[in-house]
Chains A and B, each alone.
Chain A
Amino acid sequence: MAIVEFKGKTFDVDEDGFLQKFEDWCEEWVEYVKDSEGIKELSPEHRKVIDFLQDYYKKNGIAPMVRILSKVTGFKLKHIYELFPSGPGKGACKMAGLPKPTGCV
């Protein structure tokens, strides 16, 4: 697929801009996605969502359901959309380096 170069790093991504490998994730990736996802400044709240998504993925092998994301972070869905305008799937999961959401989306 496509190769993205950003700040000296290269990332293997698919046509929707999701990382092909979770291990490729790094700080530069967050920086890179931030711009394309309409996020100006990364707040600690953004961090909290990304960290939780990554922890949950490492532990369970899947992305958490939206209800679980809300419950653990304490952010309502509306607030998650304020943080990540594209939503928890296209926005937050992409930034956290998780695989692209599948199913009838």
Chain B
Amino acid sequence: MAFISSGYNPSKPMEDRITDIGPRSFEDFYPPVIKKNKGKWDYHEILKPGVLVHVAESGDKVFTVRCGTCRLMSVSLLREACEIADKYCGGHLRFTTRNNIEFMVTDEKTMEAMIADLESRKHAGGSFKFPIGGTGAGISNIIHTQGWVHCHTPATDASGPVKCVMDEMFEYFQSMKLPAMLRISLACCLNMCGAVHCSDIGIVGIHRKPPIVETEIIDNICEVPLAVAACPTGAIKPTKVEVEGKKVNSVIVNPERCMYCGNCYTMCPAMPLASGQGDGIVLMVGGKVSNRISMPMFSKVVVAYIPNEPPRWPTLTKTIKHIVEVYAKEAKKYERLGEWAERIGWEKFFEVCGLEFSHHCIDDFRDPAYYTWRQSSQFKFTSHVE
């Protein structure tokens, strides 16, 4: 395609340049009913899965219909969402912090018509474009990252596994039958972009092999001290090596100390470590961010390794489904997954979920590891360990 200028002049890049204007004010996009009743909401109800009503002190009502999205979406799908918003919501819509879309209307009749319309929209392959759900004690959208779509440090994909897990969890997206909300998040490497460290179930990509040092180019394209300082276990040392008769700066990685976090690759492109067979997924459970009843919690590693099995990741989805089903059956009302596991004891959690406990789950990182061991005779005898 021929070049079409936006008016930018590359020979005078600073001319007519607009900068530091920030995002548009959110108030510019309020539906009228939200603008009018802002700060004066009285109460809300969940009418059914995915549908909320907020009632204002003035008596005004706003009905919200929450729809799942794939987060990574085309302009055509966005245009379709805009078309729906134009048709029913006066052109207004919003996205939630878990990347669901919410359409808001002020009367029940329009709401019913919109729900029927939303439910009828499907992709050519058969999947729902705007499935309704994600409210109350169910499983809402999965917070996730870039994966093999765009990032250079992933150990697994993001969009792929998220689609597989949500397919398996779809009934929980469209219902509210769990003891409490259950948050699932995915990060494709240990950078943990997103919320895996504080989710009920966290899916994290991991490596199992140390990086390869590309000695011929490392001193040219890397700042070697940064690679050394990037290592949490001090496994990287600077060294001199001979390349084609010339002494050059490089590093050596002590494989005994390396735990394959990949931080050095983030800082230094000459230390790649991704591996088809080596890479896989860690499952973490029991995190939360709210302070309802118990304090916020980190999620904890319960499955040290699940292989990457594109395109459907069957072992991953099966394991998650099983954990969710056991939690749904065993936990008390309002109890988040982490609260349940802490109450019954982690040895019981492993037993009832049928998960194999391996030494990988025992913390061995610096002084704080000690506090995760059991300094008490309080424990339950469990059967699953042979």
Judge whether B226 and A62 touch: CB under 8 Å.
Answer: yes
**Given the interface contacts A62-B223, A62-B225, A63-B223, does A102 sit within 8 Å of B267 by beta carbon?**
yes
**Given the interface contacts A61-B249, A85-B14, does A99 sit within 8 Å of B225 by beta carbon?**
no
Judge whether B225 and A61 touch: CB under 8 Å.
Answer: yes
Point out the residues of chain B lying under 8 angstroms from A21, CB to CB.
Answer: 220
- A22 and B269 CA atoms in complex are apart in Å by 16
- A57 and B13 CA atoms in complex are apart in Å by 29
Judge whether B14 and A38 touch: CB under 8 Å.
Answer: yes
Set A22, A61, A100, A102: member contacting B266, Cβ < 8 A: A102
Point out the residues of chain A lying under 8 angstroms from B267, CB to CB.
Answer: 102-103
Contact with B along A43-61 (1 / 0, CB 8 A): 0000000000000010011
Judge whether B13 and A85 touch: CB under 8 Å.
Answer: yes
- A85 and B19 CA atoms in complex are apart in Å by 12
Instruction: With a 10 A CB-CB cut-off, give which of B217, B223, B225 has the most chain A CB atoms.
Output: B223
Point out the residues of chain B lying under 8 angstroms from A72, CB to CB.
Answer: none
Q: Which of B1-33 touch A at CB < 8 Å?
A: 12-14
Residue B297 lies at the interface, judged by CB distance under 8 Å to chain A: no
Q: Which of A64-95 touch B at CB < 8 Å?
A: 85
Interface residues of A (CB under 8 A from B): 14, 20-22, 38, 57, 60-63, 85, 99-100, 102-104
Point out the residues of chain B lying under 8 angstroms from A100, CB to CB.
Answer: 221
- A102 and B221 CA atoms in complex are apart in Å by 10
Judge whether B220 and A99 touch: CB under 8 Å.
Answer: yes
B220 to chain A, nearest CB (A): 5
Judge whether B13 and A38 touch: CB under 8 Å.
Answer: yes
- A46 and B269 CA atoms in complex are apart in Å by 29
Set B12, B221, B249, B266: member contacting A104, Cβ < 8 A: B266
Residue B222 lies at the interface, judged by CB distance under 8 Å to chain A: yes
5 contacts between A and B (CB under 8 A): A38-B14, A57-B223, A62-B223, A62-B226, A102-B267
Residue B191 lies at the interface, judged by CB distance under 8 Å to chain A: yes
Q: A20-B220, A63-B223, A102-B266 are in contact. List 4 more A-B contacts (CB 8 A).
A: A22-B220, A62-B226, A102-B222, A102-B223
- A72 and B266 CA atoms in complex are apart in Å by 28
Point out the residues of chain A lying under 8 angstroms from B222, CB to CB.
Answer: 99, 102
Point out the residues of chain A lying under 8 angstroms from B53, CB to CB.
Answer: none
Point out the residues of chain B lying under 8 angstroms from A14, CB to CB.
Answer: 221
Point out the residues of chain B lying under 8 angstroms from A104, CB to CB.
Answer: 191, 266
A79 to chain B, nearest CB (A): 14
Residue B201 lies at the interface, judged by CB distance under 8 Å to chain A: no
Residue B316 lies at the interface, judged by CB distance under 8 Å to chain A: no
**Given the interface contacts A85-B14, A102-B269, does A20 sit within 8 Å of B221 by beta carbon?**
yes
- A63 and B13 CA atoms in complex are apart in Å by 26
Q: Which residue of B lies closest to A35 (CB)?
A: B11
B249 to chain A, nearest CB (A): 7
Residue B268 lies at the interface, judged by CB distance under 8 Å to chain A: yes
